[in-house]
A and B are shown apart, each in its own frame.
Chain A
Amino acid sequence: MSARQIGRSLPRLEARAKVTGRAEYVHNLRLPGMLYGKIFRSIVPHGRIRGVDTAAARAMPGVELVATAADIRTVVADPYYGPAFHDQPILAEEKVRHVGEPIAVVLALDPKAAEAAAQAIEAEYDELPAVYDEVEAAISPVHVHDALKPAGTFPDLAHLAGRRDTNVALDFHLRRGDPERAFAEASRVFAHTFRTQTVMHTPLEPLVSIADASPDGVTIYTSSQSPSFVRIEIARLLRWPENRVRVKTAFLGGGFGAKVYVKLEALVTALSLLARRPVKISLAMEEQFFTITKHATTFHIRSALDREGRITARRCEVYWNGGAYADIGPRVAQKSGFSAAGPYDIENVSIDSYEIYTNLPPAGALRGFGVPQLVWAYESHTDLIARSLGLDPVEFRRRNLLREGRPQATGTLMRDARLEAVLDRVAARLDWGGSFARGGGTKRRGRGVAIGFKASIAPTTSVAIVNISADGSATLYCGTVDMGQGATTAMAQIVAETLDIDAETVRVLAPDTDVTPYDMSTLGSRSTYHMGLAVKRAAEEARERLAALAAEAGLPPGSNVPTPEIFRKRYGMQAGNVVGTGSFVPAYTPPDHASGLTDNATPYWMVGAAGAEVEVDTETGAVTVLRLVLAADAGTPINPKIVETQLSGAAIMQLGFTMQERMEFADGQLLNPSFAEYKIPAISDLPARIEVDLVDAAEQSGPYGAKGVGETGTFAVSPAIANAIHDAVGVRVSELPITAEAVYRALRLAAGDPLPQG
Chain B
Amino acid sequence: MTRVSFTLNGRSVTTEAAASESLVELLRDRFALYGARESCGQGLCGCCTVILDERPVSGCLYPAVFADGASVVTIEALSPGGGLDPIQEAFIEAGAFQCGFCTPGFILMAKDLLDRHPEPSEEEIRRQLSGNLCRCGAYPEIVEAVKLAAIKRRTTRRQT
Query: Cβ of A676 and Cβ of B42 under 8 Å apart?
Result: yes
Q: Is B150 an interface residue, CB under 8 A from the partner?
A: no
- In the bound complex, CA of A203 to CA of B20 (Å): 26
Query: Cβ of B101 and Cβ of A254 under 8 Å apart?
Result: yes
Query: Cβ of A652 and Cβ of B41 under 8 Å apart?
Result: no
- In the bound complex, CA of A84 to CA of B22 (Å): 41
Q: Is B69 an interface residue, CB under 8 A from the partner?
A: no
- In the bound complex, CA of A649 to CA of B137 (Å): 4
Closest chain B residue to A18 by CB distance? B100
Considering the complex, which residues of chain B in the window 67-89 have a beta carbon less than 8 Å from any beta carbon of chain A? 74-76, 78-79, 84, 88
Q: Is B55 an interface residue, CB under 8 A from the partner?
A: no
A11 and B42 in contact (CB under 8 A), knowing A22-B34, A681-B137, A683-B130? no
Interface string of B120-160 (1 = CB under 8 A from A): 00000011011111111111111100000000000000000
Count: A-B pairs, CB below 8 Å: 152
A253 and B92 in contact (CB under 8 A), knowing A204-B133, A645-B141, A681-B137? no
Closest Cβ of chain A to B121, distance in Å, is 14
- CB contacts (< 8 Å) of B26 on chain A: these are none
A642 and B95 in contact (CB under 8 A), knowing A204-B45, A649-B138, A686-B139? yes
Contacting residue for B39 out of A21, A204, A484, CB 8 A: A204
Q: Is A50 an interface residue, CB under 8 A from the partner?
A: no
Query: Cβ of B101 and Cβ of A19 under 8 Å apart?
Result: no
- CB contacts (< 8 Å) of A256 on chain B: these are 135
Q: Is A674 an interface residue, CB under 8 A from the partner?
A: yes
- In the bound complex, CA of A245 to CA of B75 (Å): 36
Which size bracket describes the interface of A in this complex?
35 or more
Closest chain A residue to B98 by CB distance? A484
- In the bound complex, CA of A571 to CA of B100 (Å): 43
- In the bound complex, CA of A488 to CA of B91 (Å): 18
Query: Cβ of B135 and Cβ of A254 under 8 Å apart?
Result: yes
Interface string of A479-494 (1 = CB under 8 A from B): 0000111100000000
Prevailing SS type, chain A contact patch: loop
Q: Is B13 an interface residue, CB under 8 A from the partner?
A: no
Q: Which of B41, B74, B135, B140 has the most CB of A within 10 A?
A: B135
- CB contacts (< 8 Å) of A674 on chain B: these are 40, 42, 44
Q: Which of A18, A284, A674 has the most CB of B within 10 A?
A: A18
Considering the complex, which residues of chain B in the window 54-72 have a beta carbon less than 8 Å from any beta carbon of chain A? none
- CB contacts (< 8 Å) of A680 on chain B: these are 133, 135
Closest Cβ of chain A to B58, distance in Å, is 12
- CB contacts (< 8 Å) of A253 on chain B: these are 37, 39, 99-101
- In the bound complex, CA of A653 to CA of B103 (Å): 17
- CB contacts (< 8 Å) of B36 on chain A: these are 21
Query: Cβ of B136 and Cβ of A649 under 8 Å apart?
Result: yes
- In the bound complex, CA of A460 to CA of B49 (Å): 41
Considering the complex, which residues of chain A in the window 1-34 have a beta carbon less than 8 Å from any beta carbon of chain B? 9, 11-12, 14-23, 25, 27-28
Considering the complex, which residues of chain A in the window 675-702 have a beta carbon less than 8 Å from any beta carbon of chain B? 675-676, 680-684, 686, 690
Query: Cβ of B99 and Cβ of A675 under 8 Å apart?
Result: no
- CB contacts (< 8 Å) of B99 on chain A: these are 203-205, 251-255, 483-484
- In the bound complex, CA of A616 to CA of B135 (Å): 26
Q: Is B51 an interface residue, CB under 8 A from the partner?
A: no
Query: Cβ of B95 and Cβ of A11 under 8 Å apart?
Result: yes
- CB contacts (< 8 Å) of A649 on chain B: these are 98, 136-138
Q: Is B47 an interface residue, CB under 8 A from the partner?
A: yes
Closest chain B residue to A28 by CB distance? B34
Q: Which of A11, A19, A676, A686 has the most CB of B within 10 A?
A: A19
Closest 8 CB pairs of A and B: A21-B35, A484-B99, A253-B101, A652-B137, A18-B100, A484-B98, A649-B137, A21-B75
A selection of 16 A-B contacts at a CB cut-off of 8 Å is: A11-B92, A15-B91, A15-B92, A20-B76, A21-B34, A21-B76, A27-B37, A28-B37, A203-B135, A204-B134, A205-B99, A251-B100, A253-B39, A254-B136, A484-B136, A686-B139
Interface residues of chain B, those whose CB is within 8 Å of chain A, are 20, 28, 33-37, 39-42, 44-45, 47, 74-76, 78-79, 84, 88, 91-93, 95, 97-104, 107, 126-127, 129-143
Interface residues of chain A, those whose CB is within 8 Å of chain B, are 9, 11-12, 14-23, 25, 27-28, 112, 201-206, 251-256, 284-285, 483-486, 641-642, 645, 648-653, 674-676, 680-684, 686, 690
Given contacts A12-B97, A23-B100, A251-B99, 17 further A-B contacts (CB under 8 A): A14-B100, A16-B92, A19-B100, A19-B104, A20-B88, A21-B33, A27-B101, A28-B28, A201-B135, A204-B99, A204-B102, A254-B135, A284-B41, A485-B98, A648-B137, A650-B137, A675-B42
